[in-house]
Amino acid sequence: MKTIVTSPDKYSRYNLDGHDYRVFLAGTIDNGTANPWAERVVSSMDVGNADVQFLDPRRTDWDNTTECTKENPVFLDQVEWELDGIKSANIVIFNFLPESKSPVTMMELGYACATKYFRSVYVCCPHGFWRKGNVDIICERHLIKVFDAEAELIQAVGDRIKFLKGHVVTIGRAIFGQSGMVDG
């Protein structure tokens, strides 16, 4: 089963709300002007019999004139929703669209790499993205596979979820198998 929570809707930042897995959908939004890739990812991902909660930071009510300062409570809530979502997810997907600069997505990738313990990170960064080299380097440093095509990323994440559902037990946010930690 797949459930989507979109910002600013609430989710538990401290547990998985009864779901098997939580997937944060980080990637190009461009203030709402980028194509809605997250919907495509969720609808086409096969998660088997796993109960997956997807966190989508894209807001249908986002005002492009919102002042992006920490003093602005609307902006602050949005950024905290996203950072808490990345931190509370088992899996974080990054999708860089080649026609975008995606500076916030690049910052979030750095944050996810720095806080990667007990979560899996998957990145789609096709040729043509203006800073593909930067993305490739940080991902290589943190042992994160970079996919050139969105379909490959969708397949890999779906396969991972189905594998984990069949082979491990979730304990809090850490995932353990018979011989110790298997995902991190």
According to the model, what pLDDT value does residue 94 have?
Answer: 98
With CA atoms as reference, report the closest residue to 108 among 146, 81, 73, 141: 81
| pLDDT at site 176 | 45
3-class secondary structure for the chain?
Answer: CEEEEECCCCCCCCCCCCCCEEEEEEECCHHHCCCCHHHHHHHHCCCCCCCEEEEECCCCCCCCCCCCCCCCHHHHHHHHHHHHHHHHCCEEEEECCCCCCCHHHHHHHHHHHHCCCCCEEEEECCCCCCCHHHHHHHHHHCCCCEECCHHHHHHHHHHHHHHHHHHCEEECCEEEECCEECCC
Tell me the domains of the chain and their CATH numbers. Answer: 2-181 (3.40.50.450)
Note the pLDDT of residue 169. 55
Check: CB of residue 91 under 8 Å from CB of residue 2: no
What pLDDT is stored for residue 53 in this prediction? 97
Q: What is the pTM of this model?
A: 0.89
In order along its 184 residues, the chain shows pLDDT tens digits of 999 999 999 999 888 888 999 999 999 988 777 888 999 999 999 999 999 999 999 998 989 899 999 999 999 999 999 999 999 999 999 999 999 999 999 999 999 998 876 679 999 999 999 999 999 999 999 999 999 999 999 999 999 999 989 876 555 444 444 334 444 4
Q: What is the pLDDT of residue 118?
A: 64
Neighbour tally for 61: CB within 10 Å: 9
